[in-house]
């Protein structure tokens, strides 16, 4: 049996088995966040990213990825929750 990767281990279960490690620079201070979106298709993933971008400063992704053997698509974007956008 494969051992879970410790950088993505929470308690007794694996949070997301195929998630790549987060670059320390993206979470170097409070208020910065990395959000990985899992969705059934590109349109849904981009809609969620756009929803996040209407609220916070977002470094948006321009493409999704597919993990072999896993359903759907993934998209990773970066947020700065200190920079709220005016409504």
Mean pLDDT of 13-30: 60
Handedness of CA 37, 41, 46, 52 (dihedral sign): negative
Query: Nearest 10 degrees: CA dihedral of 5, 6, 12, 16?
Result: -50
**38 occurs within a structural domain:** yes
Q: Whole-model pTM?
A: 0.66
| Number of domains present in the structure of the chain | 1
Residue 54: closest CA among 32, 86, 77: 86
pLDDT tens digits, residue range 32-64?
A: 888 999 999 999 999 999 999 998 888 888 999
Residue 77: closest CA among 21, 31, 26: 26
Which tokens is 43 given?
Answer: 């349109």
**5 occurs within a structural domain:** no
> How confident is residue 18, by pLDDT bands cut at 50, 70 and 90?
low
Q: Which domain holds residue 56?
A: 26-84
**9 occurs within a structural domain:** no
């Amino acid at each position: 049996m494969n051992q879970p990767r410790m950088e993505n281990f929470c308690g007794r279960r694996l949070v997301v088995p195929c998630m790549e490690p987060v670059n320390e620079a993206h979470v170097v201070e409070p208020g910065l966040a990395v959000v990985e979106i899992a969705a059934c298709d590109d349109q849904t993933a981009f809609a969620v990213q756009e929803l996040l971008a209407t609220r916070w400063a977002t470094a948006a992704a321009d493409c999704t990825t597919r993990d072999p053997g896993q359903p759907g698509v993934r998209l990773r974007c970066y947020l700065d929750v200190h920079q709220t956008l005016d409504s």
